[in-house]
Copies of this chain bind each other. A is one copy, B any other.
Amino acid sequence: MASPAGPEIERLIRLLARLPGLGPRSARRAALALVKRRESLLSPLAEAMAEVSDRVRICSVCGNADTSDPCAICADSTRDASILVVVADVSDLWALERAGAVQARYHVLGGVLSALDGVRPEDLNLPNLRARVADDGVREVILALNATVDGQTTAHYITSLLADLPVRITRLAHGVPVGGELDYLDDGTLTAAIRQRGDV
């Protein structure tokens, strides 16, 4: 393929195409939008990336991404340190924080066990989890993992990993999503919602 755009722009396109959600064609469109809006978009974005690259670190305690290490959540003494929420990914931590679902500490695994993708226990942030639960006066571990096969496999693994420690292990409730319509839900969700029904 000829390179009418010049090597600098072609390099930008190749790198943009590696972002999730962008393919080669949309990366080309994005690069063009950046070139066209150099002052309003390209320069600020280049600066924002350089700043994130310089300043953002992965928290050595929980695995969150923040400008400080330990991260703001780990350093927040107003949070309930006796509850540890285990999530697969930083995006799940962000989702729970956006929802304001819980004021506790987190532990980011960095993925879930997967036979298909070859993710083994030693590939995840698991040894550190056991150490934290054993040492830090944690009384409850909430397994906030996806309701997928891999997520639930990981939940089972963690449950047996922590079985000998004096800690309560809980998982997220299954049920009807808020705003959800029964007609569109799968059988497993409806069965779980009936089985875990509560008094009005």
Interface of A toward B, CB cutoff 8 Å? 1-2, 4-6, 8-9, 11-12, 15-16, 18-22, 26, 28-36, 38, 41-46, 48-53, 55-56, 65-67, 72-73, 89-91, 93-94, 97-98, 100
Contacts and interface: CB of A to CB of B under 8 A. Distances in A.
Copies in the complex: 2
Contact of A1 (B15, B28, B73, B98): B98
A117 to B, nearest CB: 16
A19 B33 contact: yes
Given A49-B49, A97-B2, A21 B29 contact: yes
A52 B45 contact: no
11 contacts: A6-B66, A11-B48, A11-B51, A15-B41, A15-B45, A19-B33, A19-B34, A22-B22, A35-B52, A42-B52, A46-B53
